[in-house]
Amino acid sequence: MSNPLKTNLVDDLLSFLTSHSELIHDLYEKIEKDSNGNIDQSELLGKLIEQISDVDEGELSLLNPRIAYSILKTIPGIVFMYDLEKKKSFYINNQINNILGYSDSELNIDERFNELIHPDDVEVFARFFPRLLSLGEDEEMEYSYRVKHANGSYVWLSVREIVYSRDENGLPSKTVGIAQDVTDQVSKKYRLRESEILQNDLLNNTSQKFFYLDKNGRILTLNEKSKNEFVAANKVDPIGKVLGEFLPDLQSENFWHHFNRALASELTVYEDFLDYGPNERKYYRISMNPALDEEGSVRAVTVELTEMTQEVHYRERLKRSQERLQFALESSRDAVWEWNLDSNEVFYTGFLVDILGYDKQSEPFNRKDWLNHIHREDKRRVFSEFEKLLKGQQDRYSHEYRLKGDDDSHRWILDRGQVVEYRDSRPVRIIGTFTDITERIEQEQRLQKSEQRFQLAAKGMGVGIWDWNIKTERYYWSPQLFEILGYEPFELKSGFEGIEGFMHPDDKPKVIATLARYFKKQIDEFSVEYRVKHNNGDYIWVRSNGQAVFNNKGEPKRMVGSLENIHDGKVAQIELSKRQQLLNNINQNINEGIYRSTPDQKLLYCNDAFLRLFGVENLSEVEKQDFSTIVFYADGNDRETLRNELEQKGYLNNCEIKYQRRDGSTFWALLNCSVGTDEEGNMVYNGAIRDITEMKGIRKELIEAKERAEEMNKLKSSFLANMSHEVRTPINGILGLTEIIEETDDLSQLKEYSEMIRESGTRLLNTINSILHLSQMEASSGNFDLNEIELNNFVKSNVNLFTMPAQKKNIKLTFEPHNKDAKVLGDESMIDQILNNLIGNAIKFTDDGEVKVSISEKTRRKKLFYQIAVSDTGIGVSEDFLPRIFNEFEQESSGYARKFQGSGLGLAICKKYTELLGGTIKAESKKGEWTRFIVQLPAK
């Protein structure tokens, strides 16, 4: 989808608004505002023009009040200008009402912004102002968020904003931007999921003709559609035969060329034909797809034949029809006019000069001139009908009347017009056309005299002629018309009633409605295709064209027309449409992006999957465009590298390339491309792109899993070393002291040895308890006791337990409670364990200074948390180890030579307990200076 935020017109307008933003701001402050604080935008632009004299022609065209106001109203987005210092918008165009559905009185975006923005998008604006204040020159910012619509739903807005004014310190002070409704794009992933489901259904139930060939081109198997089509005709068993022998028309160099490409792992598609007899030829689109084995080698080729005979024929007819239509448009002599009712100015094309003979340098053909030049017999009727348009009773009209030219002669014209702009329910602008129909009117007047010649000509063309006198209800049907329907004249009642009785029931309402619209001059010509029942009982398709003659009152009085048998062509067209629809449905749901381009990078064809890969809405946006405007490479050097390789080798095989979509996101793809020729022999590049982002992600995850396994192996070794040390050291101490006690009689020494045994036992018990705590958490189903805990008293009691250890190390231990009750819902034993580990570690790793415990409150996403911080002035943690500090069995120093003892489980237990309680824990540190642990628990 093209981004309307980046169109030339919008860029030019934004550039102009940026250049003259200060003047716009001053004018905005001076212009009188209505009761809602809004101003007349057209008045603002008008005064802006008066103040500016140095604009060029391009800017001047934008500054025409009518045009500029229309641009600001119709730009597909919200244009706004914002004062960062006042935090207020001082200009917003009317599109904000159209996109959000509010009236001016209902919407004051600055006051209601916090109310309208989606709660989950509030963080977007927490980052918004800091990013704006850091933007450099010529930089812009893009972001997205949701805003509540008047109907209660949310609209996704994509914003593009630039800074155009800075204060004396160089900081941004004013911005200008556009916000675009991208709700449909956000939901695109859901439509893509539905598309994939439809694709599977289509491919599993396709009725195309398939052959499965071995690498020598021999038929291994074929589907039922192929058997019904070819086996019955050839009356031979195809299994084991070369496809070219079974279908001789495919025994060609073209077939083997594409077959060899398929053997080279390429998906290839081309068109060919099969002769079924001297006068019967069918055209097919032939797709060859390599079938790969488990090692990625081609083991067979699938050949799909899709009949496109009717498509080829219809394509040729369509080409001729388009050539005729182009010629008709270039040859048209219609004059186009536009009437501004406010200024009474009429603008018209040069063809009006040719029709009426006016001097091209004369004054505009205004309303008064128009009324004075209408023939006096037509004036009352024309003005009566046109007055309905001016009063808003109808929004379009179509009249035939005579208009006087510069030489006083009258020309018959068909005057058609439509109101294209209203103001306060009053038409203010009408656009229409003048068609010179003088020759047609004169021809109608001579119609009776030329009827015989007309009948002869119609007979030669195989067209039936009918003549309907509407006033007298008399009819005439030519013999050819009866022949088309297969009836004798006496078998069928002539006239509209006669043919109405034989119309297909589904088509009758359409024919009657078309005729009624033509009589009311709502359409310019009567031409309708429908089915009628033939004398043989079948329904056939016919086309009826007619031309009526109207009286001075605009009422039809006579109608002459033709009836043509179009059955064969119509049936072929319907069948082609069905086949094309089936092909389109299949094409839309193939995941692999297929394309064809010229060597000079012009895109000739691509399927819907290709468009989806690069974020393009439809083919019309990119057809015939430069390939480089659609396909962007994440690495700018890839384009030239791949092109050189393709030119040298003639193909690209399984290249992994990183591409970029229109929205800036990237994806990995597998590219296969080859040099070929089109139907006219011109060189083309045929390629296929498959999104492999997910596959590469899986590959990356496998590598990361392997690295994690290796890391866990290292951790296991470190853990075993630590546990060996932590268990053997206290046990050796206990056993050694026991031997000493047995040999001593000094009672004073026994008390000291007993204390040492107790410390060793406590150390061993702590190690075992840590392992048991961790094991219990791994096996626990999450069941624990939650009670209301007042943190100030609870934390204080835990801090008091460490008063003596702190005094022994001459460390200052302080506690700062919260200034009000801080209540949480938690498990007392868990929070005890967390505090004991954190405060104990702080004292353990601090030799000089202080340990500080404090409680404060924080709000995160509108939810209140209480924060417990434990800070120390100890040895700190290195920057490399800090991300792993909460891992199980991890210690910054390990082995028997480490200075500080421990199992490496304490902080891991703290983290798990905190998360079970619905909170978070993080660590901050500077090596050699300080460490701070912060625990956040949700308030009750």
- Per-residue pLDDT of 575-591, as tens digits, reads 877 777 776 676 666 77
What is the token pair recorded at 898?
A: 């480490």
**d(Cα 561, Cα 528) in Å, to the nearest integer?**
11
Considering the segment(s) 446-573 as one domain, its CATH architecture is 2-Layer Sandwich (3.30)
Identify which of 576, 618, 573, 592 has the alpha carbon closest to the alpha carbon of residue 203.
592
**d(Cα 280, Cα 276) in Å, to the nearest integer?**
5
pLDDT value of position 327? 52
**d(Cα 904, Cα 882) in Å, to the nearest integer?**
14
pLDDT value of position 366? 58
pLDDT at 866 over 90: yes
pLDDT band at 325 (very low <50, low <70, confident <90, very high): very low
Query: Burial of 247 by CB count in 10 Å (0-12 exposed, 13-18 middle, 19+ buried)?
Result: buried
Per CATH, is 4-186 categorized as 3.30.2270.10?
no
pLDDT value of position 64? 45
pLDDT value of position 760? 63
- H-state helical runs in 94-166: 95-100, 109-116, 122-126, 128-133
Which position has the higher pLDDT, 562 or 408?
A: 562
pLDDT at 741 over 70: yes
**d(Cα 853, Cα 814) in Å, to the nearest integer?**
6
pLDDT band at 647 (very low <50, low <70, confident <90, very high): confident
Q: What b/e readout covers 919-939, taking b as 16+ CB neighbours within 10 angstroms?
A: bbbebebeeeebbebbbbbbe
pLDDT-wise least confident of 257-261, 456-460, 495-499, 925-929: 456-460
pLDDT value of position 674? 92
pLDDT-wise least confident of 410-414, 905-909, 919-923: 905-909
pLDDT value of position 329? 41
Mean pLDDT within 209-221: 87
Which position has the higher pLDDT, 818 or 425?
A: 818
pLDDT-wise least confident of 129-133, 449-453, 464-468, 749-753: 449-453
pLDDT band at 62 (very low <50, low <70, confident <90, very high): very low
pLDDT value of position 870? 96
Mean pLDDT within 519-539: 89
- What are the tens digits of pLDDT across the range 326-341? 454 445 567 777 888 8
Which position has the higher pLDDT, 745 or 897?
A: 745
H or E element that contains 850: strand 850-860
**Which regions of the chain carry the CATH code 3.30.565.10?**
780-940
CATH class, domain 692-778, is: mainly alpha
pLDDT band at 872 (very low <50, low <70, confident <90, very high): very high
Which position has the higher pLDDT, 937 or 499?
A: 937
pLDDT-wise least confident of 25-34, 87-96, 534-543: 25-34
pLDDT value of position 748? 67
- What are the tens digits of pLDDT across the range 381-408? 888 888 888 888 888 888 888 888 777 7
> What are the C-alpha distances in Å from 521 to residues 472, 510, 630?
21, 16, 46
The SS3 of residue 831 is: helix
Those residues whose C-beta lies under 8 Å from the C-beta of residue 872, and which sit 6 or more positions away, are 842, 843, 845, 846, 849, 850, 851, 852, 930, 931, 932
Query: How much of the chain exceeds pLDDT 70, in percent?
Result: 72
pLDDT band at 144 (very low <50, low <70, confident <90, very high): confident
pLDDT at 769 over 90: no
> C-alpha angle 19/21/23, rounded to 5°?
110
pLDDT at 12 over 80: no
pTM for the whole thing?
A: 0.28
- What are the tens digits of pLDDT across the range 198-213? 434 443 345 678 888 8
pLDDT-wise least confident of 60-74, 451-465, 597-611: 60-74
- What are the tens digits of pLDDT across the range 70-82? 444 445 678 888 8
**Which regions of the chain carry the CATH code 3.30.450.20?**
4-186, 205-307, 330-441, 446-573, 591-691
632 within 8 A of 622, measured Cβ to Cβ: no
What's CA 3's distance to the chain center, in Å?
A: 10
Phi, psi dihedral angles at 861 (to 5 degrees): 55, 50
pLDDT value of position 714? 61
- Which CATH fold would you assign to the domain 205-307? Beta-Lactamase (3.30.450)
pLDDT at 220 over 70: yes
- Give just the sign of the alpha carbon dihedral 383, 389, 394, 397: positive
What is the token pair recorded at 80?
A: 């706004």
Q: Which residues pair with 686 in a beta bridge?
A: 596, 674
CATH number at 591-691: 3.30.450.20
Pick from 45-59, 323-337, 545-559 the range whose average pLDDT is largest: 545-559
Which position has the higher pLDDT, 763 or 613?
A: 613
pLDDT value of position 925? 93
CA distance from start to end of the chain:
49
β pairing state of 335-340 and 298-307: unpaired
pLDDT-wise least confident of 455-469, 510-524, 566-580, 689-703: 455-469
- Which CATH fold would you assign to the domain 780-940? Heat Shock Protein 90 (3.30.565)
Which position has the higher pLDDT, 120 or 105?
A: 120
CATH number at 330-441: 3.30.450.20
Those residues whose C-beta lies under 8 Å from the C-beta of residue 740, and which sit 6 or more positions away, are 753
Phi, psi dihedral angles at 365 (to 5 degrees): -80, 90
pLDDT value of position 404? 83
477 within 8 A of 489, measured Cβ to Cβ: yes
Which position has the higher pLDDT, 636 or 899?
A: 636
Which position has the higher pLDDT, 740 or 140?
A: 140
The SS3 of residue 237 is: coil
Averaged confidence pLDDT in the chain: 76
pLDDT band at 6 (very low <50, low <70, confident <90, very high): very low
> What are the C-alpha distances in Å from 69 to residues 101, 422, 670?
20, 14, 48
739 within 8 A of 716, measured Cβ to Cβ: no
pLDDT-wise least confident of 148-157, 386-395, 755-764: 755-764
pLDDT at 775 over 60: no
Q: Could you list the beta-strand ranges (E) of 361-409.
A: 396-404
Mean pLDDT within 729-748: 67
pLDDT value of position 65? 45
pLDDT at 42 over 60: no
248 within 8 A of 276, measured Cβ to Cβ: no
